[in-house]
């Protein structure tokens, strides 16, 4: 309902209520005035009758009183008139023979007994009568003195007069007055409403226009403009509002255009309110900024991955996803993280460059429109997947593999792709920096000739890992290996051949160990093996295997064919000693024992091989 109609109805209701109150009050007042006029007429008639009857009595004409009473009863609007004698008067003067001097009903008797006048009004649709019965009381103050003629006491009721009046005419007059009043007020009301409607219409139209505009703006439509209005005041208000909306539209459009591209064409699939969209974009940018500042202070690559996983799980509320990391140099892939219950549609581990469509084309791959768009990925019938590849550097590539179990979930994921890519973009420089630092660290800890760890790595692992493992009861076997007569090779065939033999030994050891063993080039032709969770049997078995496998290799250099052997000594930490470097010394002593007793041997450390000075320290 328009405000103009509402205001008109309110004014009409108020005036109508006021009119009704006035009409009711006038009707009540007119009725009461009519009754009062009839009562005055009755009192006057009663006094006339009383005085006339007194004159008749004084003049001795009481026999002619009926003529007088009949003439009075013929007055206009007087329907009937009769007198009633009190008992004391009848006893003094005798009973009257006139019909109009006898009690007619209970009302006459009540008035004679109580001396209180009685009024009865009888109304119907077409008639209205007022009957009044007035007592005559004895009073010495009257002229002539009532007590001179009547044997009565002061204030005693001598009789009563009853009058019945037809007040239909008066009621009709009152009704006509009410009709005139109602008609006059109705005309005034109509004129007043027309006048007020004409005056308030410009204001209400302006208000309705502003209300419609604000409603549209509330719903997110900033293209709407308010009507200019008619009056000066509403023109100004409309112009101010239009200017404000135009500024909002310009600013929000700019924010949406510029910042949406900042977060990869982010568009909301829920609402189209530019203000809400701008708020969401700014919140995303703020959270991305805080994310970037946080990962800049993370120490390791694993910390950064952990932070990215939390964003995907908690911020973006992605329930089922897997993060792959591809080593581009080795063309191998490993799983960084898989959320609870997430089973990747693809289990590819090698030949990533050719087999993985997302990495091959470096673009997002979705199974929504083409379920078999990637021939390697095999999902369940009711599942879809989205693969988001991200190139970090020449060494690493990341793929976020997201599985959706419904169309609604897939639509929601598509809406989040832009934000995911922005998080990945902000992750890239920090992750790339960490990868380069890790590469430098690995290079610093790795022997360039054999690709094995060097002694610096041993220093680091002792500081970070071994003390913790010792508290947890982990047992290490520490093996020292040395190539027999290696100096002869260098002297005879040159250092290049010696280097080649060292590399062959490194390869042999790599093939023999598991993930629990760590290979270290300790120096020259000496190598160190740290065997975690070792037993007497497993340590001996590994040492014998390396010794046997390496001795089977035939080297051909300078027209000569020959084989080489290794000597191995090993000890157990913390079984033999709870001092790690001392345990290394024991392994070295065992190696020396193998070398000094014929070479090409595997000797386990025992106290018996210690010299006197070392036995004291043992």
pLDDT at residue number 479: 95
- 158 and 286 share a domain? no
pLDDT at residue number 63: 66
Domain of residue 313, CATH code: 3.30.450.40
CA dihedral 90, 75, 167, 79 (to 10 degrees): 50
Question: CA-CA distance, 204 to 2, in Å (whole number)?
Answer: 8
Using the predicted structure, report yes or no on whether residue 264 has a pLDDT greater than 60: no
- 45 and 133 share a domain? yes
Of residues 588 and 198, more confidently modeled: 588
Model pLDDT for residues 453-467, shown as the tens digit of each residue: 999 888 888 877 877
Using the predicted structure, report yes or no on whether residue 269 has a pLDDT greater than 50: no
Model pLDDT for residues 219-253, shown as the tens digit of each residue: 777 777 877 766 777 777 788 888 888 888 788 77
Using the predicted structure, report yes or no on whether residue 263 has a pLDDT greater than 60: no
- 280 and 314 share a domain? no
- Which residues are 523's β-sheet partners? 526
Least confident of 21-35, 413-427, 557-571: 21-35
- 477 and 599 share a domain? yes
pLDDT band of residue 591 (cuts 50, 70, 90) is: very high
pLDDT at residue number 232: 73
- 95 and 139 share a domain? yes
Catalytic residue numbers? Answer: 525
- 467 and 537 share a domain? yes
**Mean pLDDT, to the nearest integer, of 5-15?**
79
Using the predicted structure, report yes or no on whether residue 268 has a pLDDT greater than 50: no
Least confident of 6-20, 38-52, 412-426, 450-464: 38-52
Rounded to the nearest integer, the mean pLDDT of the chain is: 83
The residue behind tokens 């791959």 is: 365
Token pair of 563 as six digits: 């084989």
- 47 and 116 share a domain? yes
pLDDT at residue number 151: 77
- 275 and 403 share a domain? no
- 290 and 322 share a domain? no
**Mean pLDDT, to the nearest integer, of 371-399?**
85
Of residues 556 and 216, more confidently modeled: 556
The percent of residues in the chain predicted with pLDDT above 90, rounded, is: 21
Of residues 219 and 557, more confidently modeled: 557
- Which residues are 350's β-sheet partners? 332
Contact in structure between 55 and 124 (CB atoms under 8 Å): no
Model pLDDT for residues 112-125, shown as the tens digit of each residue: 888 888 888 887 77
Token pair of 311 as six digits: 């964003």
Q: Is residue 461 part of a domain?
A: yes
Using the predicted structure, report yes or no on whether residue 434 has a pLDDT greater than 60: yes
Question: CA-CA distance, 510 to 518, in Å (whole number)?
Answer: 9
pLDDT at residue number 540: 94
pLDDT at residue number 191: 87
- 293 and 303 share a domain? no
Model pLDDT for residues 61-113, shown as the tens digit of each residue: 766 677 777 777 777 777 788 888 888 877 777 777 766 677 788 888 888 88
Using the predicted structure, report yes or no on whether residue 305 has a pLDDT greater than 80: yes
294 contacts: CB under 8 Å, gap ≥ 6: 307
Q: Is residue 201 part of a domain?
A: no
Q: Is residue 203 part of a domain?
A: no
- 274 and 322 share a domain? no
Question: CA-CA distance, 609 to 618, in Å (whole number)?
Answer: 11
pLDDT at residue number 284: 82
**Mean pLDDT, to the nearest integer, of 35-47?**
77
Domains identified in the chain, total number: 4
- 431 and 533 share a domain? no
Model pLDDT for residues 522-543, shown as the tens digit of each residue: 988 899 999 999 999 999 999 9
The residue behind tokens 């989040």 is: 416
pLDDT at residue number 266: 52
Distances (CA, A) of 450 to 509, 510, 563, 564: 11, 11, 19, 17
Contact in structure between 327 and 333 (CB atoms under 8 Å): yes
**Mean pLDDT, to the nearest integer, of 416-443?**
86
Q: Where are the beta strands (DSSP E) in 407-513?
A: 476-483
Using the predicted structure, report yes or no on whether residue 261 has a pLDDT greater than 70: no
pLDDT band of residue 24 (cuts 50, 70, 90) is: confident
Contact in structure between 97 and 83 (CB atoms under 8 Å): no
364 contacts: CB under 8 Å, gap ≥ 6: 358, 386, 387, 388, 389, 417
Structural domain for 290, as ranges: 222-297
Q: Is residue 91 part of a domain?
A: yes
Contact in structure between 119 and 132 (CB atoms under 8 Å): yes
pLDDT at residue number 502: 93
Using the predicted structure, report yes or no on whether residue 430 has a pLDDT greater than 70: yes
pLDDT at residue number 260: 60
**Overall pTM > 0.95:** no
Using the predicted structure, report yes or no on whether residue 300 has a pLDDT greater than 60: yes
């Amino acid at each position: 309902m328009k405000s103009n109609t509402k205001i008109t109805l309110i004014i009409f209701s108020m005036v109508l209520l006021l009119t009704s109150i006035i009409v009711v009050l006038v009707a009540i007042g007119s009725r009461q005035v009519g009754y009062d006029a009839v009562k005055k007429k009755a009192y006057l008639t009663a006094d006339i009758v009383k005085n006339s009857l007194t004159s008749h009595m004084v003049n001795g004409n009481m026999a002619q009183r009926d003529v007088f009473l009949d003439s009075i009863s013929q007055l206009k609007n007087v329907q009937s008139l009769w007198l009633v004698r009190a008992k004391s008067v009848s006893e003094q003067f005798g009973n009257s023979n006139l019909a109009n001097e006898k009690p007619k009903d209970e009302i006459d008797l009540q008035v004679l007994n109580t001396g209180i006048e009685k009024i009865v009004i009888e109304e119907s649709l077409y008639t209205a009568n007022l009957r009044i019965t007035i007592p005559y009381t004895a009073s010495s103050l009257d002229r002539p003195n009532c007590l001179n003629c009547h044997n009565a006491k002061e204030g005693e009721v001598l009789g009563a007069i009853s009058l019945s009046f037809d007040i239909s005419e008066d009621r009709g007059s009152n009704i006509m007055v009410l009709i005139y009043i109602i008609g006059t007020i109705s005309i005034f009301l109509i004129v007043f409403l027309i006048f007020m409607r004409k005056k308030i219409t410009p204001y209400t139209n302006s208000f309705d226009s502003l209300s419609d505009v604000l409603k549209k703006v509330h719903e997110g439509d900033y293209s709407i403009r308010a009507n200019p209005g008619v009056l000066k005041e509403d023109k100004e208000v409309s112009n101010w509002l239009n200017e404000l909306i135009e500024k909002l539209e310009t600013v929000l459009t700019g924010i949406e255009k510029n910042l949406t591209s900042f977060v990869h064409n982010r568009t909301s699939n829920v609402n189209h309110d530019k203000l809400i969209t701008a708020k969401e974009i700014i919140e995303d940018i703020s959270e991305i900024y805080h994310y970037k500042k946080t990962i800049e202070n993370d120490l390791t690559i694993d910390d950064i991955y952990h932070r990215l996983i939390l964003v995907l799980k908690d911020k973006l509320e992605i329930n089922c996803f897997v993060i792959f990391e591809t080593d581009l140099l080795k063309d191998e892939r490993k799983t960084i993280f898989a959320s609870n219950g997430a089973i990747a549609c693809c289990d590819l581990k090698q030949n990533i460059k050719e087999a993985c469509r997302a990495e091959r084309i470096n673009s997002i791959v979705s199974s929504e429109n083409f379920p078999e768009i990637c021939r390697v990925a095999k999902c369940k019938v009711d599942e879809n997947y989205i693969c988001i590849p991200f190139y970090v550097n020449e060494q690493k590539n990341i793929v976020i593999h997201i599985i959706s179990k419904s169309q609604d979930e897939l639509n929601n994921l598509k809406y989040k792709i832009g934000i995911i890519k922005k998080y990945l973009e902000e992750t890239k420089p920090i992750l790339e920096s960490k990868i380069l630092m890790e590469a430098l660290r690995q290079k610093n800890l790795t022997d360039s000739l054999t690709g094995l760890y060097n002694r610096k790595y041993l220093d680091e692992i002792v500081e970070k890992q071994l003390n913790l493992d010792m508290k947890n009861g982990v047992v290490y076997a520490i093996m020292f290996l040395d190539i027999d007569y290696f100096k002869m090779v260098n002297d005879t065939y040159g250092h290049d051949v010696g280097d080649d033999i060292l590399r062959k030994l490194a390869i042999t050891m790599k093939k023999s160990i598991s993930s629990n063993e760590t290979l270290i080039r300790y120096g020259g032709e000496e190598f160190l093996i740290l065997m975690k969770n070792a037993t007497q049997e497993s340590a001996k078995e590994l040492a014998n295997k390396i010794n046997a496998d390496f001795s089977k290799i035939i080297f051909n250099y300078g027209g000569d064919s020959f084989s080489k052997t290794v000597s191995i000594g090993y000890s157990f930490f913390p079984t033999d000693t709870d001092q790690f470097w001392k345990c290394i010394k024991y392994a070295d002593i065992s190696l020396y024992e193998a070398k000094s007793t014929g070479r090409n041997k595997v000797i386990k450390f025992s106290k018996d091989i210690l010299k006197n000075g070392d036995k004291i320290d043992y």
